[in-house]
A and B are shown apart, each in its own frame.
Chain A
Amino acid sequence: MMMASMVANGNRDGRQGEALVLKGVDPETCMIVFKNHWAQVVKILEKHDPLRSNTSSNMASAVQNYVEHMLFLLMEEDAGQAGAMGPILEFVVMENVMERLFLWSLRRQFTDDMKLEQLKMYEMIVGQARQPLLHHKPVLRPLMMLLSSCSGTAGPEVEAELVSLLNQLCCVLAKDQSVLELFFHTSEDQGAANFLIFSLLIPFIHREGLVGQQARDALLLIMSLSAENQRVAQHIAENTYFCPVLATGLSGLYSSLPTKLEVPGEEWHCLHREDWLQMPTLVQFLNSLEFCNAVIQVAHPSIRDQLVSYIYNGFLVPVLAPALHKLTLEEVMTTTAYLDLFVRSVSEPILLQTFLSFILLHRHENVHILDTLVSRINTPFQLGTVSLALFQTLIGLYCEDVMLQLILRYLIPCNHMMLSQRRVVKERDFYSVSAAKILALTPSCCSPEHSPPPLRQLDSILWSKGTDNKTEESFLEEDGSGYSCVIGSEIYLDVNYLHYLYNARLGISSCTRACQVWSAPYDGEDPPPEEYQPSALEEAGARGRQAQTVNPKRSHPHPRPRPPCPPQTTDPAPTNQLELEWDDSYDAGPVVPPEAATAESSRPPQPPAAEPPKHIQEMRRTAIMLVKGSYIEESDFQDDVMVYDLVAKKDEDHFKVSSLQEKDEVPLSNGLSLPPHPTNMEVNSSEVTKGSKEVKAHVADHNSNLQSPLATEVGDDLMDQYEELIRTLGSDEAGTGGSSHVKTVDKEFRNPVVTPMEEDEVDFSSFSVDTPELEKQHSSLFGTKLRSGSTRSHSVPFTGPFVSVLLSRLENMLDNSLHVNLLLTGILAQLAAYPQPLLQSFLLNTNMVFQPSVRSLYQVLASLKNQIEQQASTKKDFPELITSAQHCLLARESSLKGQDTNSGDSRECSPLEAGRMMKSSPPPQPKTISLARTEVFATVLFTEFLKELAAIAQEHSILSHVPMEE
């Protein structure tokens, strides 16, 4: 305790006055004092062997006093000439002072207090000595003995002190690697685990608070040491449990996270800093994750690879994957939000790669995590929004692998465009034709010509015609730099369009710069489309999968029989089919079976999402109705084996039941029937529960012959199927779109533009071409089904599930809430800023001619414009509402800005602020407008989105063609 006070107070006590005068004292005097003290101590030690006689506390404190001063002298001693030991240190080494002191205190009762005292003593001399002490075994060995005696059980105070000392030792190690060898040797003498310092630190890795932090810092020092020192690296990787402890620790910490988040509001969609700061368990998890990140950053590759592998196999696969497939909507949503947060928190590329390869390549129950996540974008409620937010994060990584899996691989074959269009891919839009076409979609009620909104009247910029500017009524002004420029007003220009241009420029430049590390330009030539045609893809895919992941089809227990009707093409590609099967699920245009559609249209239109419970009931009922028409379609998603079996059975009831059973055992191959949701809807309200029970009863009727204990589960599973089915079919404008399917279908019949009848409308030609084929599919039953399925997979171009699902959500823009639309348009703008010609031409080139079955962003925008015009023409107060909504959004914007400037925090904070702001309702405006008027807000947002896209298109026409040079 004396030492403690000395350390803490810097010896201000100074009874002997040594500290104060020490500077002037010559070394010889110090040596004499030291020797004297030691003689006294030795006397006491010899007289009072603690084992034989009871050492009086007097004696003990006398020893402490002497030692205190001796150590102080030692600490203050300078090294001798040419790095030789100073006389005091030499004496300490010769006389084995430290060891004798340690042994003496060991022979007394070695209490926590004693340990504390010794630890502090070492901490002081290690930290403050002016010459290296640890090189000398007589100093080092007692230290190691002390350390090992402190391992195991000890009070929190001792632990804190131990970690603090270890931290200090690591600092010394980091500065002077020559000590390292000694640490190894010493511990070999001891016969203990090789690298004691390290082993002692491991138990504290996941500790919270200061101790944990210090331990992690110390470990990081050792990690960076390992990068240069093969021996340390090898020891850690081969002889310690460091990596497993770290990784399984993550799993442990994860399991203590809340499985359901208390969501602050409907608009919430991701975990912001302020959110997780209030969750201690999450903070702790993130600390450990951050530590892993840091370790991977600095450690030797062998440790790094081991840790990454443990995180993958010990945390992601066994813990996170199942968590992503929990049963209730809330749980799944929570996990998704966690995953998003984790991906955002990780900065080290290799760790990020681990997370990404988990998301992109891992299959949980034979379904890619990515496919599952994509399919969830279309789920109603918050899961869809949270999933969107996750994808926003992923796209923002500028990661080639992500973009490849999400979109690019579907575009590489160039099958989505007419053959003649391939040369257009790289063409540049010299005259902003695409921008003009996009802006031409501006709804008349929002066009600046029609009635300039009050905000825009303020801003007009002179477009000086250069050659004849003298004729303008303009005036010259000097700006700060001494240049003059023409100021005046000639034409109304949308000033905020300048902001979009500016932003587009920033976005495209940073994206372009980021993409310089990519392996290919994706310009329609490299990678060559010919090599990645479906047939070629199949081989490549098979090869890739064999190398990397287990191909589920290959590992399938059953042998894979040939379909009864041989497919027209020579070889049905399993992998490719797997990809293209998505076609049914998302891109299928009007997949509504005729009978279901008529049933829908005969029903009165539903109020938009006013009564969720009723709405869900509705959905369930629809599901049942759809069963007849589309269950086959659903089964088409599944393994051919199953379909084959099912076809053989013929009996419809039987058919369903057995297929359901099958489903329990054999998970679907396309991720569609992953069961995140259905039961969860029951959580929402009792009414819903009732509704679902009804459905269950219905199901039970159908499955009356099924009396197994599995009954309820199967029922749930069937519910899953229904859910998925609805979602699947609803992904299109003409389909029953997600939560608002009823309305959408209804709309389709009200809105002539989107019906297949309107064939002269070029933009919608896709629909009309699409429909017959799909009808044919519906009318054809089992046998032909199979063939059509495999044919389709080869012939119908498809731009991938992600694009499809985004576009179909966008198509529902008028029904989406504001924040969903913000997310959606944000993601699309993010995608549009990518410089790859394939992506650019697909999203922004309005002149491109696509295959009829491919829906383009422009088509969706055009149909939205029509929907809006329709709304505007039927509602008299529409312009007024638009103005109110504009004001409301502006107020929101400026309040966000206010938040930004108020919190002078780091950049990372601002989006979080935004998140908070989103929760609060917008402040009252001259005319208040309810956020429930989604169509009004969507109209305003739509107009802004057009500008954003046009601006991106314009900037692309310049930036993408200039070599990047700063």
Chain B
Amino acid sequence: MNLNPFWSMSTNTVRKVRERSSFSALKANFCQVHPTHKREERQKNRIFKRSQRDSHTLKRSDGEEQSGEQQQPRASPARPSFGKKQLPSIPKNAVPITKPASPAAMAQLANGTHASYGPFYLEYSLLAEFTLVIKQKLPGIYVQPSYKSALMWFGVIFIRHGLYQDGVFKFTVYIPDNYPDGECPRVVFDIPVFHPLVDPVSGELDVRRAFTKWRRNHNHIWQVLMYARTVFYKINTMEPLNPEAAVLYDKDVQLFKSKVVDSVKLCNSHLFDQPKMDDPYAISFSSWNPAIHDEAKERMFTHKRRPEDHQKGLQVSGLSWVKPGSTQPFSRDDNPPLS
């Protein structure tokens, strides 16, 4: 949990480092964010709390927790393999604490899937989206799902040139809970940037104009993020959310520019503020602290430079004697002769 992303504002030369570092911190966090881990954690909390409240209720809750981890191969010996079917153990003396679930939630969906798994599908869909974002390596954009919900992502965008150069804008992505069948995700800047397409009050970016209809399998969240970046480089004044900005851009670019500079300054001056959301995975900036950041930077750069070495360190357990380009077993030349 001490992997909170760190940020530091200083000179331009540091920026690249910083950005890269943020990216890796992000990835580090991705591991934590992964639902199974997170869930496990949450559940532990819950069970822990419950047993505190009602000490005789769930004496065996710990064992129950372990059952997941322990699901190692049993019937099969030695080799790593998959476990057998396993059900959670029945807690003894447990008084079922049940809440009547809403009938709507319990109903079977039209396509026959069980509603109770719906959340899993949703969370995994969002995680898949997140992995796509990582894959895209969008320049200057970093996001991270919140701890509390996969439907809310924290992000920050660095503008490297153009009118908004040096702007660092924090934002939040809100994803509808019927994703991917609902509306397109919303992007809301923490501080309303002065921009024709950004609502001057709420800070919300007009995303919908680019994604009039959100189509599953075709539209992905990285496209939204990409769009959020593009608006700062190619300014569109059609049907603006901020008419003032639109008019200024069309009529008085100089004034527009100076207003943008002010807006960028304002945003950057709030960079070190506490995150708007109280969430452990919210993105927060701190000033450069050599004691912490130098070492982290060092680590990142050595990692970047020698990916092969890193790979070698991993214990590879797989086996192959297949010559690349062949589908014959034991076709590699270094096989010892058997006769």
A residues with a Cβ closer than 8 A to B are 269-270, 272-273, 301, 304-305, 308-309, 312-313, 344, 349-350, 352-354, 356-357, 360-361, 389, 392-393, 395-402, 404-405, 408-409, 412, 428, 430-432, 435-437, 439-440, 442, 447-449, 454-455, 457-467, 469, 477, 479, 481, 483-487, 489-499, 501-503, 505, 507, 510, 513-520, 527, 532, 540, 544, 548, 819, 822-823, 825-826, 829-830, 833, 886-887, 889-890, 893-894, 896-897, 900, 907-908, 910-915, 918, 941, 944-945, 948, 950, 954, 957-958, 961-962, 965-966
Contacts and interface: CB of A to CB of B under 8 A. Distances in A.
Interface of B: 1, 27, 34-36, 39-46, 48-49, 63, 66-91, 94, 96-99, 101-102, 105-108, 111-121, 124-125, 127-129, 131-132, 134-135, 146-152, 174, 177, 180, 216-217, 278, 280, 311, 314, 316-331, 335-339
A900 B70 contact: yes
A180 to B, nearest CB: 26
B328 A498 contact: no
Given A396-B79, A431-B125, A544 B96 contact: no
Contacts of A944: 85-87
B57 to A, nearest CB: 10
A911 B148 contact: no
A769 B257 CA distance: 70
Contacts of B314: 513, 966
Task: Classify the interface of chain B: helix, strand, loop or mixed.
Answer: loop
A183 B202 CA distance: 89
Contacts of B339: 309, 312-313
B180 to A, nearest CB: 6
A442 B85 contact: no
A410 B83 CA distance: 27
A515 B117 CA distance: 30
A499 B39 CA distance: 10
Given A518-B320, A948-B85, 13 more contacts: A389-B76, A393-B76, A436-B121, A448-B116, A458-B96, A461-B43, A495-B88, A502-B71, A519-B320, A532-B327, A826-B83, A890-B88, A950-B117
Contact of A914 (B75, B97, B325, B336): B75
Contacts of A304: 336
A460 B42 CA distance: 12
A829 B36 CA distance: 19
Nearest to B60: A894
Contacts of A466: 146, 148-152, 174, 177
8 contacts: A400-B320, A436-B111, A483-B1, A496-B88, A510-B317, A897-B70, A941-B85, A948-B82
A401 B321 contact: yes
Contact of B87 (A402, A886, A913): A886
Q: Which of B49, B131, B216, B319 has the most CB of A within 10 A?
A: B319
A436 B125 CA distance: 12
A430 B79 contact: no
B174 A489 contact: no
A459 B40 CA distance: 13
A513 B76 contact: no
A432 B321 CA distance: 35
B280 A893 contact: no
Nearest to B123: A463
B167 to A, nearest CB: 26
Task: Classify the interface of chain A: helix, strand, loop or mixed.
Answer: helix
B74 A442 contact: no
B46 to A, nearest CB: 5
B81 A395 contact: yes
B86 A499 contact: yes
A469 B148 contact: yes
B89 A517 contact: no
Contacts of A442: 114
Contacts of A393: 76-79
Given A501-B120, A503-B82, A518 B113 contact: no
Contact of A958 (B106, B131, B149): B131
Contacts of A462: 42
A911 B68 contact: no
A352 B78 CA distance: 15
A81 B101 CA distance: 89
B335 to A, nearest CB: 7
A440 B114 contact: yes
B119 A463 contact: yes
B127 A431 contact: no
B146 A495 contact: no
B116 A502 contact: no
B38 to A, nearest CB: 9
A959 to B, nearest CB: 9
Q: Which 9 A-B pairs have the closest CB atoms?
A: A466-B149, A914-B74, A514-B318, A396-B79, A401-B329, A499-B68, A400-B320, A944-B85, A396-B81
A463 B122 CA distance: 10
A822 B85 contact: yes
A281 B160 CA distance: 74
Contacts of B68: 498-499, 502-503
Nearest to B336: A305
A455 B98 CA distance: 11
Contacts of A495: 43, 88
A908 B335 CA distance: 29
Contacts of B36: 498, 501-502, 505
